[in-house]
């Protein structure tokens, strides 16, 4: 950009180039260059100094605006072209941008009017415009119109077929897309990729993989379609496994899109070793740390508990957007660093980046994890009144959780009652969590009834009641809750933990014996239990609500998935090495207490992540300071 500005300065200050070079030609080149660097404002300024912009200059401006998602401004400029320069007849390049803007805004009236204009101009047979129209009508929610246009096209190219297949899949009509795909005599790699993506989008990764395996040849786009399909369907281990296969058995080099999908899988599984390898690969190949790749890399580090590394990537990024800032703010919040999260939030505002709903979710959760209730309520007010961002149910859930944890249960229940969107199970569940912490039995039972009205299969409510009754000595009532669960066929989500060792992700469930080293793991569990007893640790059996004796309860606690993962981590890693574990559910109080003791006994730093929270255990203490 600096060199580009210097060239533009020469054009402005030196009379010689302005005589030789057509101003429109120079403007078109400048508009294209600045737009590709994500600077549409400068592109518009270049256009504004043209005294007689020609159609090519207008088209360059419209493309710059739509490429940078300024769709409303693109339509406004198009209307200005029609009014100010009626002799300049828009061509196919003009309408390619306009149809894209109309599709993005779902501006049906403007899109249909533009379609009529194209028809009057005799441009409706243009292949590129016909493809854009099919895509536009799909995005308008008018698949019949799109199908009719597709059938009437005198010529079709690979873009036409891909557009129609993608459009059908976007409406869940994968059957029509597949029938069309099966009728094609010749299929390009792009067509194969579009059909794989269609199956993946519908959640059918099995059919997507069958197609992928049938392909006679593959390029990087095909590999990306399958890897991202796995990642989008939360089959993160499969995404990583396929990425490793891509590196080992094919000559394909992953591109930025590949790495973004794999980094997403690494972030969810806590696969830090692979994430770091990808970072080294980016540096070794001299790849540009683009906005999307930089965000994915920073997010991976943040979700793996490496906040300094995430901040390092953030600082190296040339371009930053609201997602970049939100990643850092949310990462700091997950670790309980509320003060640093707030500093980052205010710095973001000072640099002119407006927060979005995700940013506020991060900053409010930072207040939740640190117990700064009034500050969190002020951010909630700021979101609604200063930035006019309507709160989603997730924001209400976060605020209710914040009030509930602090013991302000009446305020929390009043907020649920005053919500402008219907409260869901998650919001009521946040209030139920506060009732559990502060032993508000009457309110807890009332909240459970509301949850079961919304979702009779909500396992957490039955488990809460069973645990509550068991802790009060009401074992018959606890057993009745378990019996109701069985009658309703309510299945409790099984606890699952992941740990990465030597670039491989190992998965554990409660009581799991599927791991090849399970005998060693359970022997280590016994050894650790003995060490913990000597250190004065007493298992918290109140979290077990089954009607079993005390020794059986202790055995059940020792088989929690995170304890199995920790035992394996101690076995499989070097003494003194940090152990990182990811869990799908909230950690129980006994495991939290046990990890504190074990961090001191084993002289290990243990980092445990679940949902949206990190716990960093070191020397017998936890970073949450027992506020979680």
Tens of pLDDT, residue by residue over 24-36, are 888 899 899 888 8
Does residue 542 carry a pLDDT above 80? no
Choose among 574, 579, 572: nearest CA to 595: 579
pTM exceeds 0.75, yes or no: yes
**At residue 471, does pLDDT exceed 70?**
no
Nearest-angstrom CA–CA distance, 308 and 491: 40
Q: Is residue 6 part of a domain?
A: no
Quick one: which of 451, 588, 454, 397 has its CA closest to 465?
Answer: 451
Domain containing 526: what range? 496-622
Residues 188 and 191: their CA atoms lie apart, in Å, by 5
On whether residue 439 sits in a domain, the answer given is: no
CA-CA distance, 90 to 580, in Å (whole number)? 59
Domain assignment present for 535 = yes
Number of domains composing the chain: 1
Cα–Cα separations (whole angstroms), residue 541 to 52, 551, 554? 81, 9, 6
pLDDT band at 549 (very low <50, low <70, confident <90, very high): low
Within-domain flag for 516: yes
DSSP code for 258: H
Q: State yes or no: pLDDT of 282 exceeds 70.
A: yes
Q: Distance between CA 331 and CA 169 in Å, rounded? A: 34
- pLDDT > 90: what percent of the chain? 61
Asked if residue 109 is part of any domain, the answer here is no
User: Which DSSP letter does residue 253 get?
Assistant: P
Specify the pLDDT at position 462: 79
Above 80 in pLDDT, residue 455?
yes
Cα–Cα distances in angstroms (integers) from residue 174 to residues 86, 145, 166, 179, 523, in the given order: 44, 18, 9, 8, 50
Gap between the Cα atoms of 361 and 394, Å rounded: 8
Q: What is the pLDDT of residue 611?
A: 77
**Positive or negative CA dihedral for 563, 565, 570, 574?**
negative
pLDDT digits (tens, 9 = 90+) for 327-383: 999 999 998 899 999 999 999 999 999 999 999 999 999 999 888 999 999 999 999
pLDDT band at 485 (very low <50, low <70, confident <90, very high): confident
Q: Is residue 508 helix, strand or coil?
A: strand
With a cut of 70, say whether residue 18 has pLDDT above it: no
Say if 418 falls within a structural domain. Answer: no
Interacting residues of 317 by C-beta distance below 8 A, sequence separation 6+: 289, 291, 294, 295, 298, 324
What three-state secondary structure class fits 455? coil
| Residue 614 located in a structural domain | yes
Residue 618, in any domain of the structure: yes
The answer to whether the beta carbons of residues 163 and 134 sit under 8 Å apart is yes
């Amino acid at each position: 950009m600096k060199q580009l500005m210097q060239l533009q300065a020469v054009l402005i200050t030196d009379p010689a180039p302005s005589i030789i070079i057509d101003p429109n030609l120079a403007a078109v080149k400048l508009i294209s260059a600045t737009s590709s660097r994500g600077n549409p404002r400068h592109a518009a300024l270049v256009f504004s100094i043209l005294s007689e912009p020609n159609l090519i200059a207008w088209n360059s401006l419209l493309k710059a605006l739509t490429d940078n998602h300024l769709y409303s401004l693109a339509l406004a400029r198009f209307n200005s072209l029609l009014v100010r320069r009626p002799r300049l007849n828009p061509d196919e390049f003009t309408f390619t941008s306009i149809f894209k803007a109309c599709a993005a805004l779902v501006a049906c009236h403007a899109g249909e009017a533009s379609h009529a204009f194209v028809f009057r101009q005799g441009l409706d047979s243009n292949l590129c415009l016909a493809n854009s129209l099919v895509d536009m009508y799909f995005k308008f929610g008018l698949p019949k119109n799109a199908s009719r246009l597709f059938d009437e096209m005198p010529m079709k190219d690979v873009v036409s077929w891909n557009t129609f297949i993608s459009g059908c899949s976007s409406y869940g009509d994968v059957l029509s897309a597949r029938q069309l795909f099966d009728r094609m005599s010749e299929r390009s790699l792009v067509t194969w990729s579009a059909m794989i993506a269609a199956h993946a989008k519908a959640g059918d990764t099995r059919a997507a993989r069958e197609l992928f395996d049938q392909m006679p040849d593959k390029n990087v786009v095909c590999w990306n379609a399958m890897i991202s399909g796995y990642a989008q369907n939360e089959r993160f281990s499969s995404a990583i496994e396929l990425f490793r296969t891509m590196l080992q058995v094919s000559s394909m080099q992953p591109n930025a899109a590949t790495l973004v999908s794999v980094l997403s899988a690494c972030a969810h599984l806590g696969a830090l070793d692979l994430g770091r390898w990808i970072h080294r690969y980016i540096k070794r190949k001299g790849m540009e740390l683009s906005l999307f790749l930089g965000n994915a890399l920073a997010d991976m580090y943040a979700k793996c508990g490496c906040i300094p590394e995430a901040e390092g990537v953030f600082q190296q990024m040339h371009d930053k957007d609201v997602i970049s800032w939100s990643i850092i703010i949310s990462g700091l919040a997950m670790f309980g660093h509320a003060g640093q999260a707030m500093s980052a939030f205010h710095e973001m505002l000072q640099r002119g980046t407006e927060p979005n709903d995700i940013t506020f979710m991060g900053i409010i959760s930072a207040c939740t994890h640190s117990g700064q209730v009034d500050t969190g309520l002020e951010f909630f007010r700021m979101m609604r009144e200063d930035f006019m961002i309507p709160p989603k149910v997730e924001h209400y859930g976060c605020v209710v959780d914040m009030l509930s944890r602090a013991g302000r249960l009446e305020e929390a229940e009043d907020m649920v009652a005053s919500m402008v969107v219907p409260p869901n199970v998650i919001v009521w569940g946040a209030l139920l969590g506060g009732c559990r912490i502060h032993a508000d039995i009457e309110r807890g039972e009332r909240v459970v009834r509301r949850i079961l009205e919304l979702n009779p299969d909500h396992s957490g409510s039955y488990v809460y009641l069973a645990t509550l009754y068991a802790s009060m000595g009401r074992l018959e009532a606890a057993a009745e809750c378990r019996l109701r669960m069985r009658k309703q066929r309510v299945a409790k989500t099984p606890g699952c933990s992941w740990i990465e060792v030597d670039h491989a992700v190992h998965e554990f469930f409660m009581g799991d014996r599927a791991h090849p080293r399970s005998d060693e793991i359970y022997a280590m569990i016994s050894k650790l239990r003995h060490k913990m007893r000597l250190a004065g640790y007493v298992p918290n059996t109140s979290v077990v609500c089954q009607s079993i004796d005390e020794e059986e309860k202790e055995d059940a606690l020792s088989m929690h998935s995170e304890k199995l993962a920790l035992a394996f981590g101690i076995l499989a890693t070097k003494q003194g090495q940090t152990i990182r574990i990811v869990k799908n559910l909230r950690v129980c109080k006994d495991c939290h207490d046990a990890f504190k003791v074990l961090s001191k006994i084993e002289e290990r730093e243990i980092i445990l992540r679940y949902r949206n929270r990190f716990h960093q255990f070191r020397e017998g203490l936890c970073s949450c300071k027992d506020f979680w």
